[in-house]
Amino acid sequence: MPVLSDLTVRPVDTVPWEDVRIVFGIRGDPAGCWCQFFKLSNAEWNDRPREEFSRTLREQIEAPTPAPGVLAYLGDEPVGWCAVEPRPNYSRLKRMPLVAAGGLDDLDDASVWAVTCFVVRVGFRKRGVSGALLEGAVEHARAHGARIIEAYPVDVAERPKASSADLYHGPLSLFERAGFTVAARPKSDRAVVQLRLTE
Q: What is the pTM assigned to this prediction?
A: 0.93
Q: What is the mean pLDDT of residues 20-40?
A: 90
pLDDT exceeds 80 at position 150: yes
The residue among 156, 132, 139 whose CA lies nearest residue 197 is 139
| Of the options 3.40.50.11540, 1.10.1670.10, 3.30.870.10, 3.40.630.30, the CATH number for the domain spanning 7-196 | 3.40.630.30
The pLDDT of residue 187 is 87
Domain boundaries, the chain: 7-196
Helix, strand, coil percent values for the chain (each to nearest 5): 40, 25, 35
Residue 27: which pLDDT band, with cuts at 50, 70 and 90?
confident
* 33-59: pLDDT as tens digits: 999 999 998 898 989 888 899 999 999
Backbone angles phi, psi at 2, to 5 degrees: -70, 150
Rounded CA separation 88/161 (Å)? 32
Return the higher-pLDDT residue of 19 and 125: 19
pLDDT exceeds 80 at position 13: yes
